[in-house]
Chains A and B, each alone.
Chain A
């Protein structure tokens, strides 16, 4: 229990509930969380994030809906509905609300990976999306 309590505190601090966040601050939060949960994790990697984004984990990849150009609008793989660009450079609303970000990680990681994404994967993914310039 003595080991568990600090871990809980760290987890609670790593995911703030305040809405005034930026993609960079979210990436930093996930990085701190990853240092705790994934000892081998060092710094967020845009290259690993891109690999994760484009890799088919089962039936789907992130890019199945968001396309391999996250600066462009995506399209839902099942319904065909347009999806706003994911890259912050192309969408100022992207990664600005912790609850919204966590909701979509929850839903989409479950669909794509059949498990929650790790903090390390989230940090890498945001690093990649931040590296994408407008126009792709």
Chain B
């Protein structure tokens, strides 16, 4: 922990330090908070690639990374950039944008996954006026919820 702090102080004091110092910092913060910041040699690049492909379900916990952090972690683990993956490039999603998440923070995952809603992309399930651009909060009716 002390070593990490020293690195952080150095990074602040000397912004011209090599990028690798920053990368080590990001790796320690993003991967080393919950477990050891494992050296990349402990697994193959293919295995690291599989792990990085689904950090939202990371051995039972959510270890989601933002894109800049994910790229640094991938690089640190010896993966080519973009990370070796058969998955298509991630497209922007309305349902994961900040405003959407904030606006729906009182809606449970279970509600979004319920048979009558199925997906957060199914706006009209709760917003009857969605097709005409009406998302008025007062008119929201969640199927199955008490009015």
Are B34 and A11 touching (Cβ within 8 A)?
no
Question: B62 contacts which of A33, A99, A111, A118 (Cβ < 8 Å)?
Answer: A111
Question: B35 contacts which of A7, A81, A99 (Cβ < 8 Å)?
Answer: A81
* Contacts between chains A and B (CB distance < 8 A), count: 69
Q: How far is the CB of A22 from chain B (nearest CB, A)?
A: 18
For chain A, give the interface size range. 20 to 34
Stretch of B44-52, B83-91, B128-136 on the interface side: B128-136
Quick one: closest B residue to A84, CB to CB?
A: B1
A51 in contact (CB, < 8 A): no
Are A107 and B62 touching (Cβ within 8 A)?
yes
Interface size on B, residues (CB 8 A): 29
Q: How far is the CB of A129 from chain B (nearest CB, A)?
A: 18
Cβ proximity bits A79-116 to B, threshold 8 Å, 1 near / 0 not: 10101100000000000000100010011101100111
Could you pull out 29 A-B pairs where Cβ atoms are within 8 angstroms? A1-B133, A1-B134, A3-B135, A3-B136, A8-B103, A11-B98, A11-B102, A12-B98, A12-B99, A14-B102, A15-B98, A33-B102, A37-B105, A76-B35, A81-B34, A81-B36, A99-B66, A103-B66, A106-B64, A107-B64, A111-B60, A111-B61, A114-B109, A115-B107, A116-B101, A116-B105, A117-B105, A118-B105, A119-B105
Q: Give 9 new A-B contacts, CB below 8 A, not counting A76-B34, A78-B60, A115-B107.
A: A1-B134, A7-B103, A7-B137, A11-B102, A33-B102, A84-B1, A103-B64, A118-B105, A119-B105
